[in-house]
Amino acid sequence: MDLGDSNHHSINGSARSDPHALTQSYIEALVARVENLEKAAALDPADESDEPEHSTSPLTIQDNRTKSGLNETFKLPESTFTLLITHEFLSIPFLTGLLACALALFCLTLVLIDEADQGTVDNPFSLPAGVTAPTRITQYVGILIGVLMEEEIPTALEIIGKGMKQDRSQGGVVSMKHILFSSILRLAVGYCFLMALFMTIIQESDVIGILFDVLALEFVERIDDAVYELCKRGFFGRVLRDAARSEHTFTCNTRIREDKNFGTQLNRFIRLTYFLNLLLLLGGLTILVSRQEDGQYRCRSFSVHFGDETWDESYVELENGAREKRLLVYSHFNGIYVENGTHDGKPRYVEQNKERGEPFLSTIPAEILYCQAIESWVFRHEHIRTGHIDNGVQNECDWLLTSPETESYDLIELSNENYWSMWRGVVEKRYEIGITCNECHGPTDCNYHGSCIEQMCRCDEGFFANTKVPAPPYCVSTVAHIHPYNGILLQLIVHSYGFEASKDNETTLHIMHDLKDPEAKYVEFYGRPLYYARNMRNKPIGLMRYGFPSDEETMAATNSSVSELGHYHPQIFDDDDFFQINRATPSFQQLLTNYTFILWYSGRRWYGQLYTPKITPATFAEDEFHAFWANALSGVGYQDNETLIISEPSTEGSPEGLEFYEMRRRNIPASEAAASAYGPFGVLIPLIEAQGAGFFSCLSEVEEEGEVEE
């Protein structure tokens, strides 16, 4: 043992004289040697473990290192991506690794394509109309979990860094081409996973769906690990078994100071990538969430369509606080509803006026809102009470119509996929309500005769669209007998089938122009024109089926209490109770000396009514008109007796070609026992026997000067 020259001589000299001194000298020399070894070990700490630890999970990077001297041994992770590094191109292990990677990329790409394909121009990411607070929290947690579980990106970056630090002086160098090829595929899988994770999370609207999506995508990303484990167990043959069971390492040089700095910078870059990915996803989610809560991804203007259903025992709360029993015709509340504020954490949609779809000024509108008490969307009106006037028991939120229990924000989806419940004194289930969005999203919504700009149709020349009230179809030809254009006036003429011309004075109805609004062409109710005929007198026999006298008969006097046909026969519905009940009043007798007949749309049917001659384009107020509050068909007093004829249900823009009826047994039932046997419109007598013939047709397009166009 060489303990140094000086020590050697001193030991020999002391040994001759004193054995104890010799022993002491050896001990001092050994202590000095141990101190020197400890200093050397501090410069290059050695790993004392004989074998590296092996992770029990194939899904984590096998980054256990053994260090010998001043070099570091790096073990490649157990993954099919490693087969792309350690084996030659087109070999069986290489192709297996490539196939596993392609399978993961293929599945993730399918997810991305499917999620992206659901978007529209106005909602490219196909976000739901809104989500609940628990779902919102789960979205952020899902992003955090997904980024933490994603391992392909940091693993690829680390392998590239270690490969660049290989010690080429000791041989066993792994090709950087293989490392880069494998790592690029890892990065592709990792970022496809993050993009698919982001798209699926923002499109989900429930907590369980988000958590399942995160787990499913994580499984798809780790297909390569599952394939590698099967190869390791020998499921795919001996060649792949041996390739998977082999350990692959290379030596990294850590002697040079620059290499140490590179390792530090690499670790920092990997951590930065982790946090950058997390911040990008959370930032993108936050931006979309703010837009979603502002309503940018949901329809904010609806057209609501109720059917013919009625409730004959609704109670209207009057201004003085009293309650009045009134017939509720649900279709009178058809029309446009616009988002206005929130209720119980969800949007509140308010009924708009029937002229141009703008807010009512004095009329209290109906509303569609979310009622947390029953966890459903409801249709209601604050002045229509559902409880009986005696017991005072009312529905939750005074609902008149309610959806199934839901947390959804999408009313259109609820109306298309679910039945609602209607209140008619009892709950009537399985009711279909129509809710459509008024916003255009492409040329289809504009009938291919215009462009959709800012969700409103701008129509081509020769086509008309009232942009104040968007309602499909938007762009309609001027020859469709719906809208006037460039001063053209439309007229409707009444058919008098089988009647002699000498007895049938043609009744021509004109569109009523809107003199109060220079931008509007005509007076409008529920998106349809109002037609009228002025200076009429006596019974409008041209507008009735059985009111026309034969050649031998003469017209009844204005104040006659009987008509040409026998009245009120219990077995005959053809009698004329409309004029029977009205002729008993002096006011109606006076009305028949001079009145205006108007034909207007009430939300589902056209009503033909007798009105005072004071109604003119200059005096008619349409902006606050509402069929329900105007008692168009309310079951109260004599207001109902203004309606002479009524059309079949229709969503057309014109009464042309529709079937029309006279209403019988509504005001004067045949008996008290039979009073409830008739519908809300009584017994409907068709004006024309032949079905499909219609009652009104377009006479011609007439210029304002009165000249008929050929």
Bond into 77 cis (ω within 30): no
pLDDT at site 322: 80
CA distances from 606 to 363, 581, 661, 698 (A): 22, 22, 10, 16
Q: For the chain, how far is it from start to end, CA to CA, in angstroms?
A: 130
Which of 647, 130, 74 has the alpha carbon at shortest distance from 345? 130
pLDDT at site 686: 86
pLDDT at site 339: 93
Tell me: the pLDDT tens digits for 98-143?
999 999 999 999 999 999 888 887 788 889 989 999 999 999 999 9
Q: How far apart are CA 688 and CA 647, in angstroms?
A: 12
CA dihedral 104→110→115→121, nearest 10 degrees, is 130
> What average pLDDT does this structure show over 573-594?
73
pLDDT of 370 > 70? The answer is yes
Cβ proximity of 598 and 609 under 8 Å: yes
Cβ proximity of 316 and 328 under 8 Å: no
- One-letter amino acid of 681: F
pLDDT at site 493: 58
Q: How far apart are CA 438 and CA 531, in angstroms?
A: 25
- One-letter amino acid of 634: S
- Please name the helix (run of DSSP H) or strand (run of DSSP E) that holds residue 110, with its range, or none: helix 92-117
Query: Which tops the pLDDT comparison, 20 or 331?
Result: 331
Query: Which tops the pLDDT comparison, 375 or 475?
Result: 375
Of 201-210, 334-343, 495-504, the poorest mean pLDDT is in: 495-504
SS3 279: helix
The dihedral built from the CA positions of residue 270, 275, 280 and 281, taken in this order, carries a sign that is positive
Cβ proximity of 647 and 641 under 8 Å: no
Length of the chain: 710
Q: Estimate to the nearest angstrom the gap between the alpha carbon of 197 and the chain centroid.
A: 20
Tell me: the pLDDT tens digits for 62-106?
444 444 445 677 788 888 999 998 888 889 999 999 999 999 999
> What average pLDDT does this structure show over 421-441?
87
For the chain, how long is the longest CA-to-CA vector? 169
Query: Which tops the pLDDT comparison, 550 or 647?
Result: 647
HSE value, Cβ hemisphere, 13 Å, CA-based, for 224: 32
pLDDT at site 470: 41
b or e along 541-577 (b: 16 or more beta carbons within 10 Å of the residue's beta carbon)? Answer: bbbbbebbbeeeeeebeeeeeebbeeeeeeeebebbb
pLDDT of 348 > 60? The answer is yes
Tell me: the pLDDT tens digits for 246-298?
888 777 766 555 555 766 777 788 888 888 999 999 999 999 999 999 888 88
pLDDT above 70 as % of the chain: 70
pTM: 0.73
Tell me: the pLDDT tens digits for 207-255?
999 999 999 999 999 898 899 999 989 888 899 999 988 888 777 766 5
Average pLDDT for the chain = 76
